Amino acid sequence: MRLILFDIDGTLIFGHGVGHRSLVCAMEETFGTSGDHDRYDWRGKTDPQIVRELMRSEGIPPSMVEEKLATCFDRYVRHLEELLSNGHRVDVLPGIAELVQDLGWRSDVLVGLLTGNIERGAKAKLRPTGLLPFFQVGSYGSDDSNRRHLPAIARDRAQALVRHDIAFSDIDIIGDTPLDVDCARAVGARAIAVATGQHSVGELQDANPDLLFENFGHLEACLRTLEYRPLPAPHRRVSSLSPRQEGQQ
């Protein structure tokens, strides 16, 4: 079985700054500052890492940051859910709905998430897209602030679900930043980069991924590159249920 792990922001969706805005508000409410967040490079970093680095740059003691981190993320999720419930736009990126659905229907594939988002934030962002049920496992910034540790967490959860071992060489990690490539390289997984985020094709090439896509807009060509045959057309209907759930209804 192959485990395919997707990043979220810039890979699955474009949230028009909803996460950035929500976390900035949460940091200001919790710590009295959001640091130099406009100049800080958020790309590919975990949510806890972002908060710790921004607060450290403002001279806030690490012990105070740790003490208030949970409160900060409670406020972050509240702001995030309020914005999303009030109609803040979240776009599914080209070809993602079809690709995730096609992979999700396969018996030899387990589709999951590997993201720097905390788990509650990740699910809040994906819920409006209708795609959340297709992700059977995940590892999140709330599990570990070091992105290199997230593949092993996702693998452990996948192995518990399918009840057999999964080699790191049987894992694909798909993301839009060099840090996604780096975390795949750290464990020997296949690194797949896509230039739908804030890094150019050239910048991603410099990270030396195993595969590089401009986007996933052409399903059949993408699946062939990923070494899968496209499923028959009737299975390409995006459903609000996961493939396993739909088969049981």
pLDDT in tens, 57-66: 999 999 999 9
Class (C level, CATH) for 2-14+91-244: alpha beta
> What is the residue-wise DSSP string for 4-31?
EEE--BTTTEE-TTHHHHHHHHHHHHHH
pLDDT for 234 equals: 53
Pick the closest to residue 6 from 90, 115, 105 (CA basis). Answer: 115
Enumerate the domain spans of the chain: 2-14+91-244, 18-85
pLDDT digits (tens, 9 = 90+) for 10-44: 999 999 999 999 999 999 999 999 999 999 999 99
Task: At 153, list the tokens.
Answer: 């967490």
Class (C level, CATH) for 18-85: mainly alpha
Average pLDDT over residues 169-177: 98
Pick the closest to residue 122 from 178, 85, 76 (CA basis). Answer: 76
The phi, psi pair for 65, rounded to 5°, reads -60, -45
